[in-house]
Amino acid sequence: METFTVFGYGSLIFKPPPHVITQTPGFLKGYVRRFAQKSHDHRGTPENPGRVVTLIHKEEWDLFSGSDPFPNDDTVWGIAYTIDPVYVAEVRDYLDYREKDGYTMETLDVYAIENGQEKVAIHNAFCYVGRNDNPSFIGSEPLDLLSTTIWKSVGPSGPNKEYLYRLADAVRGLSNDSYDSHLYALEKRVKELDGNNDNKG
Task: For the chain, list residues with pLDDT below 50.
Answer: 201
- Let me know if domain 4-195 sits in CATH 3.10.490.10: yes
Angle at 59 between CA 54 and CA 60, to 5 degrees: 55
Instruction: Please state the domain extents for the chain.
Output: 4-195
Report the amino acid identity of residue 9. Answer: Y
Report, as residue numbers or ranges, the catalytic residues.
99
Q: What's the pLDDT at 101?
A: 61
Q: What's the pLDDT at 102?
A: 66
Q: What's the pLDDT at 198?
A: 61
Q: What's the pLDDT at 25?
A: 95
> Is the four-CA dihedral 150, 155, 158, 164 of positive or negative sign?
negative
Q: What's the pLDDT at 3?
A: 82
Query: Among the residues of 15-142, which ranges form H helices?
Result: 58-61, 88-98
Q: What's the pLDDT at 164?
A: 98
Reported for 164-167, long-range contacts at CB under 8 A and 24+ positions apart, including other chains, are 164/35, 164/190, 165/190, 165/191, 166/11, 166/14, 167/10, 167/11, 167/13, 167/14, 167/53
Q: Which of 43, 74, 47, 69 is nearest to 59 (CA)?
A: 74
Q: Is 51 in contact with 149 (CB distance < 8 Å)?
A: yes
Q: What's the pLDDT at 174?
A: 95
Distance CA 200, CA 117 (A): 49
Q: Which phi and psi (to 5°) does residue 26 adopt?
A: -175, -170
